[in-house]
Chain A
Amino acid sequence: MDHIFFFYFAAVIATTSLLVVALRNPVYSALALLIMFFHVAGLYVTLHAEFLAAVQIVVYAGAILVLYLFVVMLLSVTSEERYHNQLPVAGLLGVVLCTEIILLFFQSQATASAPAASVDPVAGPGNTELIGEALYSTYLFPFEVASLILLVAMIGAIILAKKDIHERVQ
């Protein structure tokens, strides 16, 4: 049963990620990415990360992708007619990375059969509570740094996108 779910999600994720790169119209690319985000969220549910699945849908599909679609509509981009002429470089890099992944995979299959963690999934606190505890105790400082990153990004985006911020000063 798990295999069926995994292969469904994996097939849709792989197909839509290919479509994101292959489709010529940026709106279609963004919509393919939307489908991919939803299926990644489904994959998170099968991996017992229910809270992250909800966050994935809310943040990625709800905020980030809407921002992309706003910009696409704002700039009224037409579909591009040809690919960039970096295709040989991309092909070379793709093949190299692909062989690297395959080699690593088979090497790990051959040598190390890593024992699974012997801890049984105990029916303790829920997923959200576990994440909250880890986030506010062990990872408190990175959490604050993340909020600082968001603040800096917000200020930077406003400064960059504002039209005549320098003229008004002078």
Chain B
Amino acid sequence: MTVPLSYYLILSGFVFLTGVVGVLIRRNIIVILLSVELMLNATNINFVAFSDYFHNVAGQVFVFFALTVAAAEVAVGLAIIIALHRANSSIYIDDLNLLKR
């Protein structure tokens, strides 16, 4: 393995950071969920990089579980978005201030 492991860690950290900032600054719920996908992918890159580095296949198995959780999260999240859009016809989180009123 000629590319050092730390390069993968830096890349994964950058992608994760982008996801965190995206969750915090975007108003559209769909884009917030896309940012969560970014963060999950960052952890997956870490898992696969370590799996290759230690020649242990367990990391790749855990990517499967992360993938399962991502799929479940997308299904439930998008259903919630549709229900929200049906309830108050907006998917911007600024408009979802029912508990503040």
Q: Which residues of A contact B (CB under 8 A)?
A: 2-3, 6, 10, 13-14, 17-18, 20-21, 26, 29-30, 33, 36-37, 40, 43-44, 46-49, 51-52, 55-56, 59-60, 63-64, 67-68, 71-72, 74-75, 77, 80, 82-84, 86-87, 89-91, 93-94, 97-98, 101, 105, 108-109, 116-117, 119, 121, 127, 130-131, 134-135, 138-139, 142, 146, 149-150, 152-154, 156-158, 160-161, 163
Contacts and interface: CB of A to CB of B under 8 A. Distances in A.
A75 B91 contact: yes
Interface string B26-56: 1110110111011001001100110111111
A75 B20 CA distance: 25
Query: Chain B at the A interface: mostly helix, strand, loop or mixed?
Result: helix
Contacts of B10: 101, 105
Contacts of B65: 142, 146
Query: Chain A at the B interface: mostly helix, strand, loop or mixed?
Result: helix
A74 B81 CA distance: 11
A99 B69 CA distance: 29
B22 to A, nearest CB: 4
Interface residues of B, number: 71
A80 B83 contact: no
B25 A83 contact: yes
6 contacts: A10-B11, A21-B38, A29-B31, A117-B53, A134-B57, A150-B72
Contacts of B16: 97
Contact of A47 (B48, B64, B70, B76): B48
